[in-house]
A and B are shown apart, each in its own frame.
Chain A
Amino acid sequence: MKMVDLLMMIEEQAEKKLSDMPDENGHFGPYGGMFVAETLMEPLQELKHAYLKYMQDEDFLAELDKDLSDYVGRPSPLYFAERMTRELGGAKVYLKREDLNHTGAHKVNNTIGQMLLAKRMGKTRIIAETGAGQHGVATATVAARLDLECVVYMGAEDIQRQALNVYRMKLLGAKVVSVESGSRTLKDALNEAMRDWVTNIDNTFYIIGTAAGPHPYPAMVRDFQSIIGREAKEQILKHEGRLPDALVACIGGGSNAIGLFYPFVDDQDVSMYGVEAAGHGLETGEHAAPLCAGKPGVLHGNRTYLMEDQHGQIIPTHSVSAGLDYPGVGPEHSWLKDIGRANYVSVNDTEALKSFHYLTRVEGIIPALESSHAIAYVKKLAPTMDKDQIIVVNLSGRGDKDIHTVATIDGIEF
Chain B
Amino acid sequence: MSRIKSCFEQLKQQHKQALIPFVTAGDPNPEITVDLMHAMVESGADIIELGVPFSDPMADGPVIQKASERALIYGTSLSDVLMMVKTFREKNNDTPVILMGYLNPIEVMGYEVFAKAAQDCGVDGILTVDIPPEEAGTYIPALRNCELDPIFLLSPTTTKERMKIICEYASGFIYYVAVKGVTGTSALDTQEVEQRVSIIREVTDLPIAVGFGIKNAQSAAAVAQVADAVVVGSALVNLVEQNALENNKIIKEISRVLQNMHSALT
Contacts and interface: CB of A to CB of B under 8 A. Distances in A.
B153 A37 contact: yes
B180 A310 contact: no
Contacts of B155: 37-39
Which 6 pairs show the lowest CB-CB distances between chains A and B?
Answer: A312-B108, A312-B105, A199-B181, A311-B77, A39-B155, A38-B153
B135 A34 contact: yes
A35 B108 contact: no
19 contacts: A34-B134, A35-B103, A37-B153, A37-B177, A38-B132, A39-B59, A39-B181, A41-B162, A42-B157, A42-B159, A195-B60, A195-B181, A198-B59, A201-B180, A300-B58, A303-B107, A311-B78, A312-B105, A314-B55
A308 B56 CA distance: 11
B110 to A, nearest CB: 11
Contacts of A34: 132, 134-135
B177 A39 contact: yes
Contacts of A181: 62, 65, 69
A285 interface: no
Interface in B172-214: 177, 180-182, 185-186
A201 B180 CA distance: 8
Contacts, number: 124
Chain A interface size, as a band, is 35 or more
A93 interface: no
A195 B131 CA distance: 17
A301 interface: yes
Contacts of B102: 298
B104 A312 contact: yes
A182 interface: yes
Interface in B100-152: 102-109, 129-132, 134-135, 152
B58 A312 contact: no
Chain B interface size, as a band, is 35 or more
Contact of B129 (A37, A201, A299, A314): A37
Contact of A38 (B56, B109, B152, B186): B152
Interface string B9-53: 000000000000000000000000000000000000000000000
Contacts of A198: 59, 180-182
B159 A36 contact: no
A181 B63 CA distance: 11
A194 interface: yes
Contacts of B162: 41-42
A350 interface: no
A35 B135 contact: yes
A43 to B, nearest CB: 6
B109 to A, nearest CB: 7
B88 interface: no
A271 to B, nearest CB: 32
